[in-house]
């Protein structure tokens, strides 16, 4: 696991601009975003975990690993939909995981060229996969690719934390949330991460 190179600079610039953010970051000094794993595994796990508990997702994932032997596009494609469903996946999620594997095998999703794509272009490529919506794509850009300026405005945790710290707990209108994000650019991922930490000090890992 590694911390993004830009993290110290982002912290300094955000603290200089925004005293509220500076106070949040001081309370969570020593904590930073880290990344690990490979792209296919991360996206497959995100699909498996949609709309079910962490415990249930872990159980399904364990059965999937047992059936495939290895979580890779080739091994997943080697399983039929019936075998994927036997692992505990719904019919729809089985299709989603198979579609994801197909995108990697065909080269429609190619991690080797992602570094040259801007955030919106990459989000469009990811959301072309069945079962991957914008929120999942944004989480992937933040947690796996550590892109510095992603702002997931539809995320409920972000909305709650921003309302708490910037609007005395009252719901922050979408327009104000977007304007707040502009004030943090080009470090909106970092600001979002610290707002999440203000609600839950234990970092999420993908």
**Positions marked active-site:** 155
Distance, in Å, from the CA atom of 63 to the CA atom of 60, rounded to the nearest integer, reads 5
Rg (C-alpha) for the chain, rounded Å, is 18
Angle between helices 7-17 and 188-199 in degrees, nearest 10? 80
Strand partners, 33: none
**CA 4 centroid distance within chain:** 15
User: Which residues touch 130 (CB under 8 Å, ≥6 apart)?
Assistant: 95, 96, 99, 100
Taking CA atoms, 89 is separated from 30, 64, 81, 83, 128, in Å, by: 38, 9, 9, 9, 21
Distance, in Å, from the CA atom of 123 to the CA atom of 134, rounded to the nearest integer, reads 7
Return the C-alpha torsion angle 151, 152, 156, 159, nearest 10: 30
């Amino acid at each position: 696991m590694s911390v993004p190179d830009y993290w110290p600079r982002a912290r300094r610039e955000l603290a200089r601009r925004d005293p509220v953010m500076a106070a949040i970051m001081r309370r969570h000094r020593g904590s930073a975003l880290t990344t690990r794993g490979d792209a296919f595994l991360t996206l497959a796990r995100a699909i498996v975990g949609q709309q079910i508990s962490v415990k249930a997702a872990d159980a399904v994932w364990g059965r999937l690993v047992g059936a495939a032997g290895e979580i890779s596009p080739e091994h997943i494609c080697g399983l039929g939909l019936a075998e994927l469903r036997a692992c505990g996946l719904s019919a729809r999620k089985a299709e989603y995981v198979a579609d994801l594997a197909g995108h990697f095998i065909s080269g429609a999703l190619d991690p080797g060229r992602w570094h040259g794509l801007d955030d919106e272009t990459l989000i469009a490529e990811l959301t072309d996969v069945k079962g991957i919506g914008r929120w999942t794509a944004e989480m992937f850009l933040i947690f796996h690719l550590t892109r510095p300026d992603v702002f997931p405005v539809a995320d409920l945790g972000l909305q709650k934390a921003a309302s708490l710290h910037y609007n005395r707990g009252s719901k922050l209108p979408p327009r104000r949330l977007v304007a707040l994000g502009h004030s943090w650019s080009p470090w909106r991922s970092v600001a979002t991460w610290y707002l999440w930490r203000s609600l839950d000090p234990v970092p999420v890992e993908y």
